[in-house]
A and B are shown apart, each in its own frame.
Chain A
């Protein structure tokens, strides 16, 4: 006997999680299976809808307005602008992210000192928005070379932000090892651990505030790299703000990213609350069924364990999430062997220019209007399979700054469509 449910979602990234939450809220009995951890852990925790057009125009002020002008095969066009809005409303509700009060993109400083258009940002980044004209101090940590605060500040200044910005570098109290993990800082701040400062033991939050306070020159907001707590990030930020008498924010960082981790946690919590079941750690490697999928097989230590459902959602990610694979011969979708259109000649997959127009960036499955993947002749591969997120083709998340938005919108649509089929 196989493990059974109404809807089975394959993949536990942004798209899979949104799908499963949506389907469960629609009343379906949902199970999600995922192989490894998703790309959320590498990403900044910012949620982009559309920052630039596929032709590179931008930064865009109103992503919704720009969606209408996208080419027909773009996933946003497939699901429609109204669905994108509904999906974002669900996302806002379950994550407590900010930025939903307006349609326009917010501008956020990045760890490299550029300003990035984004649709939603975590509460921890809120005080850093570039449209705010309060002066800003950026604080870097000596041991964390990824974020060079003076350099980032100089960049922001050159970009013409409407406030004065300075950067300083300090030593994190307690002298952590030079390559300490981001989780090490977060854990210390979460637990307000005692650290030795000049021979005296102090709670780390106090010690950190005291180190920054003398450096303040009247700035009203202070930005740190994104290491301010994990489980208790809000409390850490509030405590620092109080001790320093300023607003405190985190500058979104590169991988590994705590804001990404926190977002993942919030989504898994929402998934749990929705009543959906989930299991991670083992890949879906095979399926049975012709025309419609009857069951899939999860591989565990050489055993193939069957799981069946009435409807399936494929949310295994793109090239990085391993939802799309390529070798020297071809590009493939490995779980269900769905058709992935690509030029036969490998030399047409990419551009000779590193930052050029790479075809591989948009590789992925092509779908019908209900998100069912299509085969080479344009017919649905399976009656009961839908695809969402990075596994889709027709968009280039890196160029458009649309990765998270497409995953949320198509995840939502695929989950809803699947759940409605089983009712």
Chain B
């Protein structure tokens, strides 16, 4: 390929795959982290800018190159420089990270800048701060709502209340709140007999599969908030599929992965939750468990954001042993072979319009569902393109971001409308909300299809 005039004569640097940075702790000493080697690797190719879905629709957003390496440099050279408020418009989709050929840790820069902006520049009494904090702490609201799911389902979508929320809190009234399940995943799990039941199910499977019954196949399930409170069917599918392959599942104590908190600059909140998650996961990792998540933002947080932002004991080991649910089976089992021999009928014998979440893309997982299920008899799957869904967690819930979020998602909605099927599929719960909101389709998780195909 030829660039018209210039040919590159600069000396390239080695890719910064991460090992050159010491893990940094943003709190309590927010002045301590050093992202300079990363900023210095930027050679201004603007590949990050061309990947940013927000810059594509938002005129006021200066783009990842500015938010990351440029702002970092400004901050280092000018003592009075304060973080630009445009950082709050970055949706933390992390697409820029994936784009940069030079390995500049863009999302780490955005997360730290946002953290600094929120802790030092944002008015803690402002409506925006309060609203963001409520949105970011979804788990807390979900926890209470799940105690009275029926009441919550009605109340959260009660028109006058939503109007009030928009007017006073800036939470858009365009969207429907997700429904809360009558029985949470953990309630189901406990009633089913917890880890003991899983152990005996796994042993039976191993026997059936002709594997040694005492083989060490065990995973710790990070279900996250959403599959616990809202879509326990995803968690159940995960458990059944893993047991089918002979894995003993445990569901350790856990909090929110922190994704919505990173995106809102609430790093202190995120750290508190991360500490609980890392401590319970690292104990299990030491005992030979691998951590498996069914939500791609959760696995992303444990693998990349935690070690980038926090210095917590055991964090590296947890990151290195965390996997997304399908990915883990692809690596350790002949999943492709199993799916090739299977077929689905009934409820899930459908054509699916599949959307890969940005955070799956970042883990190199954007293709796995499509490639896996195209060999499955009875179901079809079509990729609806590489665009971002636009909701990015809490971003699309904010009244002032709603229109942008829908503008970003427009491409996906169109591709969904053109796809053969009228059922959507994705790994990310908020992408699912956006898909449903923009297309009216019902949305399923790949694990549900896998369960229908493999588990009788």
> Interface on A for B, CB 8 Å cutoff?
1-3, 14, 33, 35-37, 39-48, 51, 110-112, 114, 116, 118, 176-177, 179-184, 186-187, 191, 231, 252-258, 260-261, 263, 265, 272, 277-283, 285, 298-303, 305-306, 319-322, 325-327, 334, 354, 358, 361, 397-399, 401, 403-404, 407
Known: A254-B4, A303-B320. 11 other contacts (CB 8 A): A1-B331, A39-B1, A46-B4, A110-B5, A177-B62, A279-B366, A282-B363, A301-B303, A325-B12, A327-B14, A404-B1
Residue of B nearest to A358 (CB): B9
* Contact call A301/B4, Cβ cutoff below 8 A: no
* Contact call B320/A43, Cβ cutoff below 8 A: no
Specify which chain A residues have a CB less than 8 angstroms from the CB of B7 in the assembled complex.
361, 397-399
Q: Type the 1/0 row for B32-57, where 1 means its CB is closer than 8 Å to any CB of A.
A: 00000000000001110111100111
A42 to B46, CA, bound (A): 9
Residue of A nearest to B290 (CB): A303
Contact residue among B4, B55, B321 (Cβ-Cβ distance under 8 Å from A184): B55
Specify which chain A residues have a CB less than 8 angstroms from the CB of B420 in the assembled complex.
none
Smallest beta-carbon distance B101→chain A, Å: 5
> Interface on B for A, CB 8 Å cutoff?
1-9, 11-12, 14-15, 17-18, 45-47, 49-52, 55-57, 59-60, 62-63, 98-101, 103, 303-304, 307, 316, 319-323, 330-334, 361-368, 371, 383, 386, 407, 410-411
Specify which chain A residues have a CB less than 8 angstroms from the CB of B18 in the assembled complex.
301-302
A401 to B3, CA, bound (A): 9
Specify which chain B residues have a CB less than 8 angstroms from the CB of A47 in the assembled complex.
1-2
What are 14 contact pairs spanning A and B, CB under 8 A?
A2-B331, A36-B99, A41-B47, A41-B50, A48-B2, A183-B56, A187-B57, A252-B4, A261-B50, A280-B366, A285-B17, A322-B14, A358-B9, A398-B7
* Contact call B101/A1, Cβ cutoff below 8 A: no
Specify which chain B residues have a CB less than 8 angstroms from the CB of A397 in the assembled complex.
2, 7
A46 to B8, CA, bound (A): 16
* Contact call B5/A181, Cβ cutoff below 8 A: no
A1 to B338, CA, bound (A): 14
User: Do A43 and B322 form a contact, CB below 8 Å, given A37-B47, A300-B363?
Assistant: no
Choose among B1, B9, B368 the residue with the greatest number of A CB atoms under 10 Å from its CB: B1
Residue of B nearest to A13 (CB): B1
Q: Is the interface of B mostly helix, strand, loop or mixed?
A: loop
Contact residue among A116, A298, A325 (Cβ-Cβ distance under 8 Å from B2): A116
Smallest beta-carbon distance A385→chain B, Å: 21
Smallest beta-carbon distance B217→chain A, Å: 12
Specify which chain B residues have a CB less than 8 angstroms from the CB of A305 in the assembled complex.
331
A263 to B3, CA, bound (A): 14
User: Do A254 and B6 form a contact, CB below 8 Å, given A41-B50, A281-B361, A299-B17?
Assistant: yes
A319 to B7, CA, bound (A): 12
- Shortest beta-carbon contacts, A-B, top 4: A398-B7, A43-B1, A110-B4, A302-B320
Residue of B nearest to A38 (CB): B101
Contact residue among B15, B320, B321, B411 (Cβ-Cβ distance under 8 Å from A35): B15
Specify which chain A residues have a CB less than 8 angstroms from the CB of B323 in the assembled complex.
303
A325 to B103, CA, bound (A): 14
A13 to B411, CA, bound (A): 25
Specify which chain A residues have a CB less than 8 angstroms from the CB of B52 in the assembled complex.
181, 183
* Contact call A301/B56, Cβ cutoff below 8 A: no
A310 to B393, CA, bound (A): 42
* Contact call A325/B14, Cβ cutoff below 8 A: yes
